[in-house]
Structure 1
């Protein structure tokens, strides 16, 4: 899949603008490093982004995911932010895509400055619609959303995006030190 061709647009926020989801680019590294200064983001996200060099490595990993057809990561940007061009507001990803497998996983995060504006649910809905359309011929029928059980904001995002809560998963340290919630969305027939 040509990573430069995929662009997704979210629904507009009430009284606001739509957001653009596009593949991460090397020019995003400085902005990504800035966003990762947020302790809440570092606590919830699994990426090792301590500085601009780490951000550049992470962006390159996302590019390789597209090339391999297994991980499709999108920068979520506000294209009209103060008339100054694009501003990073989040991340959305479709991962663990395997031809013939009926399920894959979605993930997301929102930048501190954009929380509370509906960024994550809008990005997740756009990603979900795209995933089911783009990978129907590969047999994709189910998307899973996993998050730490104490992350109530992610439960709200899942609910707003029609991902049903299906259960609690036990902690599996060190990678998953806390219990997790599993939410699922099935492809509409």
Structure 2
């Protein structure tokens, strides 16, 4: 199932935009993965241009297959500034007609602590519910290791309530938190 994005999600009155990944993102993607904090929480590491091309191809494949819908999060700081990559957000594991999927994200080192993760996750969450609730989506799950306190705060600020603690399983060495956010009942636009 190929998913079509007619217009990328954009935060109203803001410089934050979600768009599909392109090869133009390779230098910033490599730079983002130089951050040891990000590497601690992610499974796939980008070390060079070849890894970055493979990573972007995985994102394209996810869109073509409809099971990994990943967006580059871009911010324009000022009119004259070049837009820059600040994060990644993704809906994973959605199956046509399914009632749940998983969301994930990462942010670049340069923007941590500025609320970008929460804003981007909220954009993604709204988009996913608007796009897939008419087809059966009822909830989104967010998973992180219990010691990733920043992700726990982002999940809670975005309305993802802690639902359970799951035991560690490779490649993750620690137990995990599962946060859940349910689809809104009234505010979904089906047009």
Q: Normalised by the size of structure 2, how large is the TM-score?
A: 0.91
Tell me which of 171, 174, 182 is aligned to 1:186.
Answer: 182
The answer for the alignment partner of 2:71 in structure 1 is: 74
Q: How many residues align?
A: 183
Please state how far the C-alpha of 1:96 moved relative to its aligned partner.
0.2
Partner SS for 1:136: helix
In structure 2, how many angstroms separate the alpha carbons of the residues matched to 1:68 and 1:81?
36
- Relative to structure 1, is the Cα distance of residues 32 and 81 closer, same or farther in structure 2, using a 3 angstrom cutoff? farther
Partner of 1:100: 97
Aligned counterpart for 1:38 among listed residues 35, 39, 53: 35
Distance 2:163 2:34 in 1: 33
**Which blocks of at least 5 consecutive residues in structure 2 are unaligned?**
186-191
Moved over 6 A (4+): none
Residue deviations 1:49-89 (CA, integer Å, cap 9, x gap) = 11121011101110111111111100011123573321010
Alignment of 1:61-140 (within 5 A): 61-80=58-77, 83-140=80-137
1:140-151 aligned within 5 A? 140-151=137-148
- Residues 10-48 of structure 1: per-residue CA shift (max 9 Å, x gap): 255xxxx43111111111111100111100011111223
Tell me which residue corresponds to 1:51: 48
SS in 2 for 1:182: strand
- Backbone CA RMSD of aligned residues: 1.4
**Structure 1 contact 6–23 (Cα < 8 Å) conserved:** no
Match of 2:10 in 1: 9
- Of 44-53 and 90-99, deviating more is 44-53
Structure 1 alignment gaps of length 5 or more: none
Aligned equivalents of 1:138, 1:85: Cα separation in 2: 37
